[in-house]
Amino acid sequence: MKFVSTFLAIGLLACGPGNRGDDGTGGDDGTGPDGNTTTPKQCNKMDILFVVDDSGSMMEEQSNLGTNFPMFATLLSNYTTSDGQHIDYRVGLTTTGRDIDYTLDPGAPFPPMQFHEHGPNGAFRNDCGTSQRWLDGTDPAIGTELPCRANVGTGGSGIEMPMMMTNWALSKRVQDGTNAGFVREDALLAVVMLTDEDDQSTEQNNFTISLTNPNGPIDYNPPDHAQFLDTLKGHRSRWAAAAIAGDGDCSSAFGMAANAARLKDFVNTANNQGTTQAVFSSICAGDLTIGLKEALDLFQAACGGIIL
């Protein structure tokens, strides 16, 4: 939320359930009916959710996304498991913004200002020529449709909530039917959060941002988010996540990014049970497909440790 911090400174200053046996008759530990170890099947089914920052500070990064998402669509379509099988995937995309009202109070001599910002509230984008809320990997036009949907613009809320909007996309927007049917029981849930700011997730509304409260009433924290995904999928091994954000306060030819401390905390929390469920990459990298490929590799590797 760069515009808020700047203004205040002026005033101050796993692949779904198992498939680990060779034919489904073996044990959950990867043994066959005779007790002998079988070769685990490769994870080949993923539900991929992108949560993309559409705030005003993303102008330069949006241009970079326009270049990189076609390459990522190609990566998805060409991605194969170690046994040469293409993955069965679907992609939903929403933004980091929600409908929200707040007051910005920079302190004297500047008067308080009221803001009302709009966001999709976790609803998947369904523009670009099709009304379906997500894109299937079998769609021959995904190479153009995914980059089109990723072009979310820069008119969204300046209070970025990638964690909360992941939650809403997979809870509230499922319950009201908007995103219903996206999450498959037998697929790995893979989440990619992409932003140039840190997370400021909150359920609250009509609050004040001031010199003494510059980040607002953050009340949805990294452990809450990990627990939400655990509960949604039934076990930590059934989901994985990637955060592409500011690795420290960084800058590149594609713009500046603030240190995403809370998203790093989420990645650490996701990995605190002895597995690697999440990865952090820098949005300041010129070629974002590097971070996206790291995410895909993580998602594939996460499937090998799935617990039923």
Q: How many CA atoms lie within 13 A of 106 on its CB side?
A: 16
**What are the pLDDT digits (tens) for 92-123?**
999 999 999 999 999 999 999 999 999 999 99
Low-confidence ranges of the chain (pLDDT < 70): 1-43, 60, 63, 254, 286, 303-308
User: Which pair of structure tokens corresponds to residue 74?
Assistant: 């190609």
Angle at 149 between CA 147 and CA 154, to 5 degrees: 100
User: Could you tell me if residue 12 is inside a domain?
Assistant: no
Cβ–Cβ under 8 Å, residues 134 and 89: no
This prediction has a pTM of: 0.84
User: Could you tell me if residue 115 is inside a domain?
Assistant: no
Task: Work out how many domains the chain is built from and give that number.
Answer: 1
User: Could you tell me if residue 212 is inside a domain?
Assistant: no
User: Could you tell me if residue 34 is inside a domain?
Assistant: no
Q: Give the pLDDT score at 199.
A: 96
CATH at residue 290: 3.40.50.410
User: Which pair of structure tokens corresponds to residue 106?
Assistant: 């920079």
User: Could you tell me if residue 173 is inside a domain?
Assistant: yes
Q: Give the pLDDT score at 223.
A: 98
Q: Give the pLDDT score at 305.
A: 63
The domain in which residue 237 lies consists of: 43-101+122-203+219-303
Q: Give the pLDDT score at 269.
A: 98
User: Could you tell me if residue 35 is inside a domain?
Assistant: no
User: Could you tell me if residue 19 is inside a domain?
Assistant: no
User: Could you tell me if residue 279 is inside a domain?
Assistant: yes
Cβ–Cβ under 8 Å, residues 216 and 207: yes
